[in-house]
């Protein structure tokens, strides 16, 4: 409901709008759905710890700037069918990083290379809408970069 409040201002009744989820919550649900951790794709099952990674951002380099731009152009190709949110796992990110490395005649990275998460951290640091999530259970680790601004 919108009502006039004098001098051309409008008052919005927040009860008319659904509760907006925080980016961290959206990213957590996207990670749970992406990795298929439980029967309910929107919940992280017990036993899994959720970590939001914001530290260890590498210094800006021309490569990272180009990688950030490339990733920015790929979000619409990476919208989850369950979460309806743009997201990339480590392997998705690896494919795009290797595309860029190949154009520069640099050696490709392989799965498990720690630089992948470091580069994901750099990209995540460029926007509050980008959330880097790590799911941990024992020695098992799963990392996901979610763009919470692109949700269908």
**Tens-of-pLDDT digits for all 152 residues of the chain?**
444 444 444 444 444 444 446 888 888 888 888 888 777 767 787 888 888 888 778 889 999 999 999 999 999 998 988 888 899 999 999 999 999 999 999 999 999 999 999 999 999 999 989 999 999 999 999 999 999 888 87
Q: In this structure, is residue 8 part of a structural domain?
A: no
Is residue 25 in some structural domain?
yes
Any domain includes 7: no
In a domain, 15, yes or no: no
In a domain, 127, yes or no: yes
Q: Give SS3 for 17.
A: coil
Sheet harboring 49-53: ordered strands across?
A: 49-53, 130-137, 140-151, 85-89
* Residue 36 in domain: yes
Residues sharing a CB contact under 8 Å with residue 64, sequence separation 6 or more, in sequence order: 58, 119, 122, 123
Domain count, the chain: 1
Quote the pLDDT of residue 45: 76
In a domain, 6, yes or no: no
Distances (CA, A) of 89 to 31, 66, 73, 78: 8, 19, 16, 10
pTM, two decimals, is 0.81
38 occurs within a structural domain: yes
Range of the domain at 137: 20-151
d(CA 116, CA 109): 8
Residue 127's CB: how many other CB atoms inside 10 A?
Answer: 14
Token representation of residue 62: 């021309």
């Amino acid at each position: 409901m919108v009502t006039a409040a004098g001098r051309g201002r409008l008052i919005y009744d927040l009860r008319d709008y659904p509760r907006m989820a925080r980016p961290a919550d959206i990213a957590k649900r996207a990670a749970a759905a992406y990795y298929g951790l439980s029967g309910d794709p929107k919940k992280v099952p017990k036993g899994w710890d959720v970590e939001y990674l914001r530290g260890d951002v590498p210094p800006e380099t021309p490569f990272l700037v180009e990688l950030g731009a490339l990733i920015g152009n790929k979000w619409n190709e990476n919208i989850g069918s369950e979460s309806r949110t743009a997201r990339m796992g480590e392997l998705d990110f690896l494919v795009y990083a290797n595309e860029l490395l190949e154009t520069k005649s640099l050696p490709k990275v392989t799965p498990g290379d720690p630089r992948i998460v470091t580069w994901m951290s750099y990209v995540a640091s460029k926007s509050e809408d980008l959330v880097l999530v790590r799911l941990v259970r024992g020695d098992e680790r799963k990392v996901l970069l979610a763009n919470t601004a692109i949700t269908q």
